[in-house]
Structure 1
Amino acid sequence: MTTPITDPPTQSALERLSKAGQPQTLRNCDLSALNFSRLDLSGWTFEGCNLSHADFSSTRLERSHFKGCRATGANFPGADLTEATIDGGDFSNSNFRGATLSSANVMRCKMTGTEMTEVRALDLTVHEVLFVMAAISGFSFKKSTLTQIDFSEADLRNCDFRETVFEDCLLQDARLHDCRFEGADLRGANLGGIQISDSKRYKGAIISKQQAADLLSQLGLQVF
């Protein structure tokens, strides 16, 4: 078992540790703007670290654990985060374009403005995440249960929400063009004042009586 590293390692030290093939724990380190690109950091733990503007492009991060990190503006394009965990912290304006997040867990964190297009994410688990103004177009949430997710003003075009269950989620002012909602349960979603003109976007979804009443009230009808 390795001793947690608390002093910020140099770039050369990171490369040596990566080549050693032994998972490391970095705790409360300032790693901002460091270059981790293409290193093998499988199984590494980053706890309470400053990763702002760090570069993880095409980095191997399978089974890695990010706990309570500040990673605003960090770059993960093409990174492999299979079975990784992101628990807490701030990943606002980070870039995960083209990353792999299959069987990963993302929870209790802020991802405002995050770029997540072209992400491969089979069996991804997300809950209590702020995706406000995030770019997540083309993402598949099929058969997922989404709990306390804020998608306000997010770009969700072409997302697949078939058979997805929404629990205490926000979709207010999200871009939902060409999304699929067949079999989705939207009763636990705040749709931000759904309009008749928007209703066709939710074709095949399950909505609550109150949501239905809001729609029919625009036609001058009342539901009792």
Structure 2
Amino acid sequence: MAPFGSPQTSQIPATNVIENSQLDRADLENLSKIGSAHRLVGCILEEVDLSRLPLDGWVFEGCNVKKANFTGAKLGSTLWSGCKGGFADFTGCDLSEGAFEGCDFNNSNFRGATLTGSQFERCKLTGANLSEAKTLNLSFNETLLADARLPGLSFRKSRLNGLDFQMADLKKSDFRDAVFQNCSLRDANLVDCRFEGADLRGADLGGIRLLNAKQFKGATISRDQAGQLLAELGLKVR
């Protein structure tokens, strides 16, 4: 997978740049018929219905896509930088190989979306719903995922850096052989998760209850974390 970095927008011809414009569905339909990707800079698409549009390879830079409807849209290899997209709907859309950097998609809906090979860098996904999404090689870095719905995701053998899973629904997720660094699992739903071989020393485990200690068998934790987990059971560590 390519490393995280700023979208290479400089490679897109200047003639394909639309700046600081209020756009509607008809505008994007007309642009999509030209047959090339476009770069939208500082554009407003709030609450616009963009469902099922072919927008593969487009760049969205500093755009407002709050409550926009991308249901079923073709968004493969799109680049998103500094966008505001609270409550945006990406249900069932194709976002494979997409790159998101410094975006705020709080409470957005990615249910059933294809996120294969997608990357999120320094994003806010508080309350986002990734249920039933296709997530092979999906990666996050320094991203807020508090209260997000992420059931069944695989983080196996991943190095997880700066991820906040506080109160997230992670049931049945796979963290085997993962390494946590500056992460939080505080009060997360970890029912039926797997942690064999995981290094949890860089994770906040506050609020976790050892209802099924077997799922942590083979994981590595610090002495302080061990005391914290035992305290959750009402045991005093001296």
**TM-score normalised per structure 1:** 0.92
Conserved 8 A contact 1:194-1:214: no
Q: Distance in 1 between matches of 2:187 and 2:212?
A: 11
Deviation sequence 1:105-158 (CA, Å, 0-9, x none): 101111111111111111112011111111111111112111111111111111
Aligned to 2:151: 137
C-alpha spacing 1:9/1:220, structure 2 compared with 1 (3 Å): closer
Deviation sequence 1:69-106 (CA, Å, 0-9, x none): 11000000111111111111210110000111111110
Aligned to 1:188: 202
| Counterpart pick for 2:56 among 42, 52, 58 | 42
Flag structure 1 segments of 5+ consecutive residues without an equivalent: none
C-alpha spacing 1:114/1:193, structure 2 compared with 1 (3 Å): closer
Q: What are the within-5 Å matches in structure 2 for residues 68-87 of structure 1?
A: 68-87=82-101
Query: How far apart are 1:187 and its partner, in Å?
Result: 0.9
Conserved 8 A contact 2:206-2:228: no
Q: Give the total of aligned pairs.
A: 222
Aligned to 1:5: 18
Q: Distance in 2 between matches of 1:119 and 1:41?
A: 19
Query: How far apart are 1:160 and its partner, in Å?
Result: 1.1
More strand by share: 1
Tell me the SS of whatever aligns to 1:5: strand
Conserved 8 A contact 2:188-2:208: no
Aligned to 1:210: 224
Flag structure 2 segments of 5+ consecutive residues without an equivalent: 1-12
Tell me the SS of whatever aligns to 2:103: strand
**1:19 and 2:33 correspond:** yes
Tell me the SS of whatever aligns to 2:83: strand
Conserved 8 A contact 2:114-2:133: yes
Q: Distance in 2 between matches of 1:88 and 1:147?
A: 15
Q: Distance in 1 between matches of 2:178 and 2:35?
A: 39
Q: Distance in 1 between matches of 2:23 and 2:212?
A: 52
| Aligned amino acid, residue 93 of structure 2 | A
Q: CA RMSD in A?
A: 1.7
Q: Distance in 2 between matches of 1:47 and 1:124?
A: 21
Aligned to 2:188: 174
Q: Distance in 2 between matches of 1:128 and 1:210?
A: 24
Tell me whether 187-196 or 110-119 shows the greater mean CA deviation.
187-196
Query: How far apart are 1:198 and its partner, in Å?
Result: 5.7
Q: Which aligned segments of 4 or more residues in structure 1 are displaced greater than 6 angstroms?
A: none
